[in-house]
Amino acid sequence: MQKDIHSGIRLWLTRLWHLPDGISWMRPLPPAHRRGIILALIVVLLAFLWPVSAPRDGGPQPTNNNESKEVPLQAEIYDNPPATQSAQPTQDKDQWHSYQIASGQTLAQLFRDNNLPVNDVFAMARVEGDDKPLSSLHSGQQVKIRQDNSGVVTGLTVESDNGPVLFTRQPDGSFLRAQ
């Protein structure tokens, strides 16, 4: 019985080894190349059929249909630090920092210069409205950014032609425009 199994396997392997010999369009190739092509096709087929584990982060990622509406910001901003810094830590939940826009600097550049997440600027730009208070910033204009104790941007306020405009962070991480 053991001999029958070994001879069956040997016969099957021999047929598999000589399989490329019967393919007419491979006849001009040497036998080693024929077998290499068959082996490469098997490897590619296995790569496509190999199971892939699901991502460990949970459910599907949310998509944003407003991505096509993003407008690049062209404001320039310089950091305008407060004149004095207190040595004692503040007990406030949020801290406001004031910055002055300078010629040639964008709002995104202000965030980069102050190690703030630039994606927050883009999230605010998605909800800035038709009057575009973030896109129409000019030199000398004041921008105030609110951060919590861990440094996360929780709000931004800017003076526009229609008065102050406030952007606040929502619990889901997006921003909401308030006036």
Read off the pLDDT of residues 79-91 as tens digits, 9 standing for 90 and up: 555 544 444 444 4
Give the residue numbers spanning the domain of 42. Answer: 2-49
pLDDT > 90: percent of the chain: 2
Q: Are residues 138 and 101 part of one domain?
A: yes
Q: Are residues 76 and 154 part of one domain?
A: yes
Cα–Cα dist 59/73, whole Å: 33
Across 151-164, average pLDDT: 84
Examine residue 58 and state whether it is found in any structural domain, yes or no: no
Q: Residue 163, by phi and psi: left (phi above 0), alpha (psi -120 to 50) or beta?
A: left
Q: Are residues 97 and 40 part of one domain?
A: no
**Domain of residue 109, CATH code:** 3.10.450.350
Across 91-98, average pLDDT: 73
Would you tell me how many other CB atoms lie within 10 Å of the CB of residue 26? 17
Task: Give the number of domains in the chain.
Answer: 2
Cα–Cα dist 52/89, whole Å: 50
